[in-house]
């Protein structure tokens, strides 16, 4: 699995590098800041899910590059904006200074804006894609990353600091903030397949399970890992007085919940008759990862 993940990471990094250097007339310093915020040692989990889902359904990788790049650009823009002083105010991301620390706040706002624009640009100009599939992809990505998904979740998150929500409210927030984009990765990978309409509900279910497990593991790591391994400050949830699963239900119950979610996700894959060792192992990886 780790070998396959490394291959997917390499592929999306190459595709992103190619895409980001093809806009020759952009201001040099802005282009550099966009590359800084995009081409780093991110886990590339979402692009890997795009590739793995597509491959499991018989798609060739060159029909998945645009979606892989686009979803990473959206994820990456959300990190740049979430790190801003007015939001989470983080100085460190993926082991290096955050975009606004390195380039200033105004540039970081524009970098995030541009990454979002580039994501849709990338889909609309994707090679080897029919117009029908380009449109589906823009629909999936805009829905998942908008007010009913990622942005809505982030809004709820920043307005919940210092409050202790119910478990279901916390799950709803995470389903929007991180789950929706993980779900989009599965849907983007699958949407060119003839089986897409039939599989869609189960893909969404699988994504919801691993998305929540991923978030719970994030909360656990914020307690149990260290700054060097994480590439961002350990304990920052506690410092920001954020609602987390460990805070709400305790550390052990959080680990149990994470493991149950992973089991349910794996069962769902079997039900869908999707042959993908990678997708099976990625579910396990989400629970085991240390950063």
Binding site for its own copies (CB under 8 A): 23, 25-27, 29-31, 34, 77, 81, 84, 86-87, 104-107, 109-110, 112-114, 116-118, 120-121, 123-125, 130-132, 134-135, 138-139, 142-143, 145-148, 151-152, 154-156, 158-159
Nearer CB in complex with its own copies: 26/198: 26
Q: How far is the CB of 25 from its own copies (least distance, A)?
A: 5
Measured distance CA(7)–CA(11) in Å, rounded: 6
- Beta strand ranges found along 43-198 (DSSP E): 92-93, 96-97
Measured distance CA(121)–CA(24) in Å, rounded: 15
Nearer CB in complex with its own copies: 23/271: 23
Q: How far is the CB of 51 from its own copies (least distance, A)?
A: 23
- Beta strand ranges found along 40-189 (DSSP E): 92-93, 96-97
Q: How far is the CB of 229 from its own copies (least distance, A)?
A: 28
Nearer CB in complex with its own copies: 9/107: 107
Which residue, chain included where needed, has tokens 């929007």? Answer: 176
Measured distance CA(212)–CA(257) in Å, rounded: 9
- Cβ–Cβ < 8 Å for 279, 4: no
Nearer CB in complex with its own copies: 86/288: 86
Tokens, residue 136:
């589906």
Q: How far is the CB of 289 from its own copies (least distance, A)?
A: 28
Tokens, residue 122:
């990338």
Nearer CB in complex with its own copies: 84/249: 84
Measured distance CA(78)–CA(101) in Å, rounded: 16
Q: How far is the CB of 186 from its own copies (least distance, A)?
A: 19
């Amino acid at each position: 699995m780790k070998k396959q993940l490394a291959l997917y990471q390499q592929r999306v990094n190459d595709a992103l590098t190619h895409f980001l250097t093809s806009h020759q007339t952009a201001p040099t310093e802005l282009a550099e800041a966009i590359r800084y915020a995009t081409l780093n040692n991110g886990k590339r989990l979402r692009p890997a899910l795009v590739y793995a889902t597509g491959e499991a359904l018989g798609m060739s990788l060159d029909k998945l590059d645009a979606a892989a790049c686009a979803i990473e650009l959206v994820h990456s823009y959300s990190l740049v904006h979430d790190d801003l002083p007015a939001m989470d105010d983080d100085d460190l991301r993926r082991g290096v200074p955050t975009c606004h620390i390195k380039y200033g706040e105004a540039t970081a706002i524009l970098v995030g804006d541009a990454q979002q624009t580039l994501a849709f640009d990338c889909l609309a100009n994707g090679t080897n894609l029919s117009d029908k599939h380009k449109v589906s992809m823009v629909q999936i990505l805009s829905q998942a990353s908008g007010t009913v998904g990622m942005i809505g979740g982030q809004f709820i998150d920043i307005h919940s600091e210092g409050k202790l929500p119910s478990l279901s409210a916390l799950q709803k927030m995470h389903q929007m903030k991180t789950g929706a984009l993980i779900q989009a990765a599965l849907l983007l990978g699958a949407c060119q397949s003839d089986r897409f309409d039939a599989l869609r509900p189960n893909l969404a279910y699988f994504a919801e399970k691993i998305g929540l497990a991923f978030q719970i593991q994030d909360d656990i790591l914020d307690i149990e890992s260290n700054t060097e391994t994480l590439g961002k400050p350990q304990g920052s949830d506690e410092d920001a007085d954020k609602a987390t699963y460990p805070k709400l239900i305790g550390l052990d119950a959080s680990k149990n919940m994470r493991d149950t979610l992973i089991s349910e996700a794996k069962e769902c894959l079997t039900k869908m008759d999707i042959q993908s060792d990678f997708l099976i192992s990625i579910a396990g990886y989400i629970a085991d990862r240390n950063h």
